[in-house]
């Protein structure tokens, strides 16, 4: 390939990422930071050898089939690839990579924040103070659910799940997890493996989701599974909105079976679910699990490392 490869960065990434990309590639950057439709992605694809998208750009089977033959690699600036139809892209001979490892700690930090905030009624308390309505106190005031010493169930004990477990150990939580395969004992650090999800749910005072969104996990936490959680449990989701049946979650909150929920992702993004706003025991954030400066720089560097390897004729470290 003569000259530098042409790279399209579809969103506004960190300054360090953009500077490195501009040094090594003929780069086009979306400085307006808007989302692109499938038709727009297809229309622009003839100008590029490589695309670096985020999860906001959808490469479904239709888009994959219509992408220009010029596109050789999609180097995702994300760990999740549920926005990519991997078989369809592979059929076109397009390499797909992601950015694992580097966002695990930041996402696990946010899961801890959501768990604590949901359990200790952070939304309600913040609103009382912020609106000038905190005018009394009693021992019965703002009583929440204690996290320390409680049982935490983790669904998906990959990189983020293990980082969440490390955080929870600091609170003296009793750790349980469900994974497709059991971890080696030296990586469990005392966490108890459950071969079945139902077994895990039955002992989870708090449940934190850290598994990928796949056709098999869509609607994983449905009405039937939510009822298997102990009464007064708290659900935390920093993985993907598709894992949770939102109508069932709302009913579990309304009925009081769930004490609270902490959510960083939703079935429809951006925007979330407007019906959740009526419930102060649903603590919500706008999908910012990996949104720290250090992690954004690391994600950009990892995506560029994958591009560099590909155009050097090597297999990218994170090829799917």
Question: Any idea what the CATH number is for the domain that residue 70 is in?
Answer: 3.40.50.720
Q: Is residue 85 part of a domain?
A: yes
260 and 224 fall within a common domain: yes
- What is the per-residue pLDDT for 309? 98
- What is the per-residue pLDDT for 295? 97
- What is the per-residue pLDDT for 68? 97
| Sheet with 95-97: strands ordered across | 26-29, 6-9, 50-52, 73-75, 95-97
pTM of the model: 0.91
Residue pLDDT, tens place only, 300-312:
999 999 999 999 9
CA 114/CA 131 separation, integer angstroms: 22
State yes or no: is 287 an active-site residue.
Answer: yes
DSSP run (H or E) holding 54: none
- What is the per-residue pLDDT for 2? 63
Residue pLDDT, tens place only, 49-83:
999 999 999 999 999 999 999 999 999 999 989 99
- What is the per-residue pLDDT for 137? 94
Identify whether 270 is preceded by a cis peptide bond (ω within 30 of 0): yes
Contact 235, 270 (CB under 8 A): no
Q: Is residue 111 part of a domain?
A: yes
φ/ψ bin of 190: left (φ > 0), alpha (ψ from -120 to 50), beta (otherwise) = left
Specify the number of domains making up the chain.
2
* pLDDT average, residue stretch 142-157: 98
11 and 124 fall within a common domain: no
Confidence check: pLDDT of 1 > 60: no
State yes or no: is 269 an active-site residue.
Answer: yes
Q: Is residue 127 part of a domain?
A: yes
Contact 30, 12 (CB under 8 A): yes
* pLDDT average, residue stretch 271-280: 97
- What is the per-residue pLDDT for 262? 98
Range of the domain at 274: 104-284
In percent, the amount of the chain with pLDDT more than 70 equals 99
Confidence check: pLDDT of 38 > 80: yes
307 and 274 fall within a common domain: no
Q: Which residue would you say has higher pLDDT here, 1 or 17? A: 17
Q: Is residue 124 part of a domain?
A: yes
Q: How far apart are the first and last CA of the chain?
A: 24
Which of the following is catalytic: 77, 240, 296, 302?
A: 240
Residue with tokens 């994983």, as numbered in its chain: 220
* pLDDT average, residue stretch 180-199: 96
CA 58/CA 82 separation, integer angstroms: 9
CA 24/CA 78 separation, integer angstroms: 21
DSSP run (H or E) holding 206: strand 206-209
Which of the following is catalytic: 20, 178, 210, 287?
A: 287
Evaluated on CA atoms 111, 113, 119, 125, the torsion sign reads negative
Burial 130-152 (b: 16+ CB within 10 A, else e): eeeeeeeeeeeeeebbebeebbb
Closest of 116, 115, 132, 118 to residue 279, by C-alpha: 118
Provide the token pair at 130: 């912020």
Residue pLDDT, tens place only, 91-128:
999 999 999 999 999 999 999 999 999 999 999 999 99
- What is the per-residue pLDDT for 248? 98
Cα dist. 12→5, 100, 110, 296 in Å? 19, 20, 22, 11
Which of the following is catalytic: 269, 294, 315, 317?
A: 269
Radius of gyration, CA atoms only, the chain: 21
* pLDDT average, residue stretch 224-229: 98
29 and 168 fall within a common domain: no
């Amino acid at each position: 390939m003569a000259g530098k490869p042409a790279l399209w960065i579809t969103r506004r990434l960190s300054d360090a990422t953009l500077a490195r990309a501009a040094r090594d590639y003929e780069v086009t950057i979306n400085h307006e930071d808007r989302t692109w439709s499938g038709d727009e992605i297809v229309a622009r694809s003839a100008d590029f050898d490589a695309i670096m998208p985020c999860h906001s750009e959808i490469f479904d089977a239709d888009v994959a089939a219509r992408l220009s033959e010029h596109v050789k690699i999609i180097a995702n600036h994300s760990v999740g690839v549920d926005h990519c139809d991997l078989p369809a892209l592979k059929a076109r001979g397009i390499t797909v990579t992601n950015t694992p490892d580097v966002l695990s700690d930041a996402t696990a930090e946010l899961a801890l924040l959501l768990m604590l905030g949901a359990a200790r009624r952070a939304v309600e308390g913040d609103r009382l103070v912020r609106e000038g309505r905190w005018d009394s106190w009693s021992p019965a005031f703002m009583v929440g659910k204690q996290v320390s010493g409680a049982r935490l169930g983790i669904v998906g004990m990959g990189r983020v799940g293990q980082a969440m477990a490390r955080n929870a150990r600091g609170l003296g939580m009793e750790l349980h997890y469900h994974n497709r395969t059991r971890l080696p004992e030296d990586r469990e650090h005392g966490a108890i493996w459950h071969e079945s999800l139902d077994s895990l749910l039955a002992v989870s005072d708090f449940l934190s989701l850290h598994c990928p969104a796949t056709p098999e996990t869509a609607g994983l936490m449905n009405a039937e599974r939510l009822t298997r959680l102990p009464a007064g449990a708290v659900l935390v989701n920093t993985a993907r909105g598709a894992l949770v049946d939102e109508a069932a979650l709302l009913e579990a909150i309304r009925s009081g079976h769930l004490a609270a929920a902490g959510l960083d992702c939703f079935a429809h993004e951006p925007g979330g679910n407007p019906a959740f706003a009526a419930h102060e025991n649903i603590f919500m954030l706008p999908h910012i699990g990996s949104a720290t400066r250090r992690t954004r720089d690391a994600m950009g560097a990892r995506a560029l490392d994958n591009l560099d390897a590909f155009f050097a004729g090597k297999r990218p470290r994170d090829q799917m």
